[in-house]
């Protein structure tokens, strides 16, 4: 017996014939072992509960913050293990006693054991025994040292223009409802053996595993945060082909392996006196730099990693060439030509825009240069081939620089050509919905700008570029949002745009209003589905509102919305001038009123002249 309470029970149980057996698990209790000793007398009752005990527990629970909190859980969430019965709160059919109360101290020092009831005594099972579980660590004050047990969930919040990841932590020896949101970086610093990705503590070779920061400047290809992936897994997962290590070897994508190898071999044959060893040697030189681009530990050995990157890079470049030079696909004797089926082209474009399905662009450039230098006169640069392949994914005409990968390229094509930061200290103010703004006199007009962020508000007119929403738009938009959260926390242009649109679009009526003004092309058909997309896209992003890209627009729109005269004009036009007939009737009434007033004034003047 090692604890004070157990020592007290030695004295209480003197005179009984018993043997102490230590059993592992939460069901273990010293007293439970007493009933399992062969030949021992039957232990029926140690303490008879009186009705006043229940009343004392109820009295002690009044005004206790902990009891109030779990009482609300028991009342509002019956699925939890807490229930209420006869005024008492039960946890898995055991009465909860208020902590730090006199009744709890009384029970611990009486003849009722704190961990078992007579009805739960079991027969002795076998002769095995185990050591008593390790006691939880205590600080100098005798309180438990709280340690994380697992990561239940993750989310992203925005503070001061920067995004931070938070983890929902389930703490050891505490119930699930006591889980708290903690800053992921601070949590990792405090508990370095906690793996935030796999949600379990990990150790390698007896030493703590070192985790690289996902904010490393070398990283540019990330796994999608689990919170986003859980909502729409299919929008982040390849349909047809895997590129890079994150989905390498996935069972549903193996049918493309023969196509990738065929395209790779065809590209090698186009090389200027290059052989396979030249490509392997190039990739060996780039291996370390390439591995650092992935914000995850790649567990492939060097040979397998190099082979995977070579085949994927060769496949992509050959695919871009065949999309540009259509006759290349026609000449080859393929059982299933990829580019002859529009549905396959759509799936390939979808897969190559996914954040988790990328190769670093410098790998493609080096591979392309090794194959074709000196360049033939009629061969476009690799970047031009890429822009042609993704021509349906952007509107702006520009030549991006410092491209990291295809997802980053498409994001760049949606950004303004010049950076524009909001005024210092200017914060985001929530907007009324599109219909609310319309009722206060704001007019909506489609902008001729090609950039999504080219939104202007002046003299009561809000100009917004047209956004084409359809089934193919949703996945790449979700991946752009994920990329900004992971790699561009200080330049979240795309996220800010959709937060602005989320403010405007709250109901199907808002969608209808924007469609009517050609600001939104709803390819989904259903206004409710379009509204749900905008409402759900950024719902797990919590932000403070500072450094919001459209903060000045929100400020001006709110100021315009608060002017009563603007609303009165709208009401007058709606009630009295909505149709030609109403306009004519209103005009006639005004003229009649005017003439009547003139006649009245003339009569008054004539009477005074008499």
Averaged pLDDT, 6-10 = 64
Q: What is the pLDDT of residue 202?
A: 30
Contacts of 318 (CB under 8 A, 6+ apart): 263, 264, 266, 267
Least confident of 346-360, 439-453, 593-607: 593-607
Can you tell me the distance from the alpha carbon of 56 to that of 265, in angstroms, rounded to the nearest whole number? 82
Is the model's pLDDT at 246 over the cut of 90?
yes
Q: Are residues 307 and 191 in the same domain?
A: no
Residue 362's pLDDT band (boundaries 50, 70, 90)? very high
Q: What is the pLDDT of residues 457-483, one digit of tens each?
A: 998 899 999 999 998 899 999 999 999
Domain count, the chain: 5
- So what's the pLDDT on residue 302? 92
Residues 481 and 549 in one domain: yes
Q: Do 248 and 343 share a domain, yes or no?
A: yes
Both 374 and 239 in one domain: the answer is: yes
Beta strands in 100-253 (DSSP E): 148-159, 162-171, 180-183, 194-195, 200-201, 203-204, 207-208
pLDDT level of residue 501 (50, 70, 90 thresholds): very high
pLDDT band at 96 (very low <50, low <70, confident <90, very high): confident
| Whether residue 189 sits in one domain with residue 116 | no
Least reliable range by pLDDT among 436-440, 546-550, 562-566:
562-566
Residue 153 lies in a domain: yes
Q: Which of 236-250, 322-336, 368-382, 537-551 has the highest mean pLDDT?
A: 236-250
477 in the same domain as 371: no
Could you check whether the bond before residue 448 is cis, i.e. omega within 30 degrees of 0? Answer: no
According to DSSP, the residues that pair with 83 across neighbouring strands are: 90
Residues of the chain with pLDDT > 70, as a percent, come to 69
Average pLDDT over residues 367-379: 86
SS3 463: strand
Same domain flag for 194 and 268? no
Residues 499 and 360 occupy one common structural domain:
no
pLDDT of residue 44 exceeding 50, the answer is no
Residues 90 and 167 both lie in one domain: no
Q: Is residue 427 part of a domain?
A: no
Span 232-258, average pLDDT? 90
Query: Could you tell me if residue 246 is inside a domain?
Result: yes
Last residue of a domain, one of 326, 361, 391: 391
DSSP one-letter string for 280-331: HHHHHHHHHHHHHTBSS---S-HHHHHHHHHHHHHHHHHHHHHHHSTHHHHH
Domain that residue 603 falls in:
577-610
SS3 112: coil
On whether both 324 and 358 belong to a single domain, the answer is: yes
Q: Which comes out higher in pLDDT, residue 69 or 329?
A: 69
Give the residue among 498, 600, 606, 594 at the shortest CA–CA distance from 548. Answer: 498
Better pLDDT: 193 or 366? 366
Please name the residue that has the structure tokens 């990561």. 151
Q: What is the largest CA-CA distance in the chain?
A: 132
**Residue 130 domain-assigned (yes or no):** no
Report if residue 587 sits inside a domain. Answer: yes
Burial class of 246 by CB neighbour count within 10 A (0 to 12, 13 to 18, 19+)? buried
Question: Pick from 206, 189, 188: which is nearest to 197 by CA?
Answer: 188
Residue 322 lies in a domain: yes
**Predicted confidence (pLDDT) at residue 495 exceeds the cutoff of 80:** yes
The confidence score (pLDDT) of residue 15 equals 60
| Residue 383 is assigned to a structural domain of this protein | yes
The CA distance from 107 to 110, in Å, is 5
Candidate from 201-210, 429-438, 518-527, 532-541 with smallest mean pLDDT: 201-210
Cα 128 → chain centroid: 48
Name the strand (E) or helix (H) holding 53.
helix 51-61
**Residue 404 domain flag:** no
Q: Report yes or no: 354 and 223 within 8 Å, Cβ to Cβ.
A: no
208: pLDDT strictly greater than 60: no
Q: How far apart are the C-alpha atoms of 477 and 499, rounded to whole Å?
A: 13
Q: Please list the helix, strand and coil fractions of the chain in percent, rounded to the nearest 5, in that order.
A: 45, 10, 40
> Do 481 and 455 have their domain in common?
yes
Q: What angle do CA 54, 59, 64 make, to 5 degrees?
A: 120
Chain centre to alpha carbon of residue 482? 8
Is 549 in the same domain as 470? yes
């Amino acid at each position: 017996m090692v604890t004070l309470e157990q020592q007290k029970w030695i004295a209480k149980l003197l005179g009984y014939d018993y043997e102490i057996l230590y059993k592992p698990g939460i069901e273990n209790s010293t007293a439970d072992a007493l009933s399992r000793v062969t030949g021992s007398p039957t232990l029926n009752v140690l303490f008879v509960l009186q009705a006043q005990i229940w009343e004392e527990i109820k009295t002690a629970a009044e005004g206790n913050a902990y009891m109030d909190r779990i009482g609300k859980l028991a009342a509002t969430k019956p699925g939890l293990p807490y229930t209420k019965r006869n005024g008492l709160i039960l946890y898995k059919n055991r009465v909860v006693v208020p902590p730090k109360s006199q009744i709890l101290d009384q029970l611990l020092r009486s003849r009722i054991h704190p961990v078992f009831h007579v009805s739960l005594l079991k027969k002795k099972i076998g002769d095995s025994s185990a050591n008593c579980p390790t006691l939880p660590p205590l600080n100098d004050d005798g309180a438990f040292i709280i340690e994380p047990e697992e990561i239940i969930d993750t989310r992203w919040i925005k503070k001061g223009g920067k995004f931070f990841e938070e983890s929902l932590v389930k703490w050891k020896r505490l119930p699930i409802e006591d889980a708290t949101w903690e800053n992921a970086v601070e949590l990792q610093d405090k508990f370095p053996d906690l793996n935030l990705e796999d949600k379990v503590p990990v150790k390698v070779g007896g030493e703590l595993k070192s985790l690289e920061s996902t904010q490393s400047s070398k990283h540019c290809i990330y796994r999608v945060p689990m919170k986003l992936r859980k909502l729409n897994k299919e929008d982040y997962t390849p349909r047809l082909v895997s590129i890079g290590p994150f989905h390498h070897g996935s069972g549903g994508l193996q049918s493309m392996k023969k196509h990738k190898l065929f395209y790779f071999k065809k590209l090698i044959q186009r090389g200027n006196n290059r052989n396979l060893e030249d490509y392997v040697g190039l990739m060996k030189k780039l291996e370390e730099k390439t591995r650092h681009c992935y914000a995850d530990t790649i567990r492939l050995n060097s040979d397998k990693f190099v082979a995977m990157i070579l085949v994927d890079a060769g496949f992509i470049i050959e695919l871009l060439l065949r999309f540009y030079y259509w006759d290349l696909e026609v000449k080859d004797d393929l059982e299933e030509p990829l580019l002859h089926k529009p549905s396959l082209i759509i799936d390939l474009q979808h897969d190559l825009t996914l954040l988790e399905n990328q190769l670093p662009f410098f790998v493609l450039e080096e591979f392309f240069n090794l194959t074709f230098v000196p360049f033939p006169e009629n061969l476009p640069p690799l970047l031009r081939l890429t822009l042609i392949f993704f021509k349906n994914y952007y509107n702006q005409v520009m030549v991006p620089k410092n491209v990291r990968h295809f997802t980053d390229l498409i994001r760049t094509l949606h950004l303004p050509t010049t950076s524009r930061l909001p005024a210092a200290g200017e914060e985001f103010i929530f907007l009324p919905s599109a219909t609310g703004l319309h009722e206060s006199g704001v007019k909506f007009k489609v902008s001729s700008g090609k950039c999504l962020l080219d939104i202007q508000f002046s003299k009561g007119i809000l100009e917004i570029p047209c956004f084409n929403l359809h089934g193919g738009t949703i996945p790449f938009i979700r991946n752009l949002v994920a990329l900004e959260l992971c790699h561009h926390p200080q330049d979240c242009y795309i996220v800010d745009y959709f937060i602005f649109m989320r403010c405007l679009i709250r109901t199907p009526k808002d969608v209808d209003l924007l469609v009517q003004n050609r600001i939104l092309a709803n390819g989904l058909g259903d206004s409710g589905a379009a509204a749900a997309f905008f409402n759900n896209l950024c719902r797990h992003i919590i932000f403070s509102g500072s450094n919001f890209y459209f903060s000045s627009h929100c400020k001006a729109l709110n100021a315009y919305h608060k002017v009563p005269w603007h609303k009165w004009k709208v009401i007058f036009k709606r009630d009295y001038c909505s149709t030609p007939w109403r306009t004519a009737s209103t005009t006639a009434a005004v003229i009649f009123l005017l003439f009547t007033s003139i006649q009245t004034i003339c009569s008054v003047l004539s009477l005074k002249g008499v």
